[in-house]
Amino acid sequence: MHTPEILPSVLACDLARLSEEVSALGPDVRTLHFDVMDGRYVPNISFGQPVMRSLRAVWQHDIDVHLMIVDPARYASEFVAAGATSVAFHPEVEDEPLALLRRLRAEGVRVGVGVRPEHPLESVAPFLSEIDVLLLMTVSPGFAGQAFLTEVLPKVTEAYERRTEDGLAYRIQVDGGVTADTIVDAAAAGADWFVAGTSVFAAEDRAGAASALRDAAAGAMRTG
Ligand code: DX5
Ligand code: ZN
């Protein structure tokens, strides 16, 4: 239903060379993934609006913002203003998730909710008809470079089947530990939007790594 897309995660790049890092991704990459961490929702702090504005100045295509912060409603619109094209947040730390989804959509971005590895799909059931992106964490949120949690794969399949049953069209995004090997399993389970940090930015040929991941996903993607 969706064509597979690789979203390099800038958390895994050399931030001192942000501009060169993203310009080395090649023409196949249309969307960057931007992880915002507050040291409260996750045990790590990454970067925020100032870095987002710097990135926007050197990147003409889409930027997918992943808010790993408590009280996302307080800051989400600032990332829209800074140039996000999609914004996902974790609804269990938001008092009024539906209102936030609708507000962000009205501001002109695609919207998503994130699900931690240990949380069931059911925890986001009320939002499935309101979102463009279902972000399924395949590592414990907080750090790049962790191993893909294969126990999340049944949830990917459940999301895929439920999307068909409900006649919905959200992208199924997997985030964390995506490599040339794990992307095959994720695609076969039903994912179509693939965040890849370390497996793109640790490669010498970043554009080649992203293209190889995309081809591996395309070859394995579930279609029926
Ligand atoms: C983890 C972040 C991921 C991370 C992915 O909390 O949400 O987006 O940057 O990095 P890799 O691909 O290295 O696991
Ligand atoms: Zn992320």
Pocket mutation for ligand 1, best pick of 9, 66, 148, 150 (most atoms within 8 Å of C-beta): 9
* pTM exceeding the 0.85 threshold for the entire prediction: yes
- Catalytic status, residue 175: yes
HSE, CB side, 13 Å, CA atoms: give it for residue 18: 18
The DSSP letter of residue 95 is S
CB 208 within 8 A of CB 187: no
- Catalytic status, residue 28: no
Report d(CA 48, CA 66) in Å as an integer.
11
CB 33 within 8 A of CB 68: no
Quote the pLDDT of residue 74: 98
Report d(CA 212, CA 42) in Å as an integer.
31
Is the CB of 190 inside a 6 Å radius of any atom of ligand 1? no
pLDDT by residue, tens only, the chain of 224 residues:
799 999 999 999 999 999 999 999 999 899 999 999 999 999 999 999 999 999 999 999 999 999 999 999 999 999 999 999 999 999 999 999 999 999 999 999 999 999 999 999 999 999 999 999 999 999 999 999 999 999 999 999 999 999 999 999 999 999 999 999 999 999 999 999 999 999 999 999 999 999 999 999 999 999 88
What stretches of the chain show up as alpha helix (H) in DSSP? 18-23, 49-58, 76-81, 97-106, 153-166, 182-189, 198-201, 206-220
* Single-letter amino acid code for the residue at 121: L
What tens digit of pLDDT does each residue of 153-183 get? 999 999 999 999 999 999 999 999 999 999 9
Is the CB of 142 inside a 6 Å radius of any atom of ligand 1? yes
Report d(CA 169, CA 41) in Å as an integer.
28
Is the CB of 195 inside a 6 Å radius of any atom of ligand 1? yes
For ligand 1, what atom is nearest to the CA of residue 197? 12
What tens digit of pLDDT does each residue of 8-19 get? 999 999 999 999
For ligand 1, what atom is nearest to the CA of residue 66? 7
HSE, CB side, 13 Å, CA atoms: give it for residue 107: 22
Mean pLDDT of the chain: 98
Residue 69: which of 98, 97, 35 has the closest Cα?
35
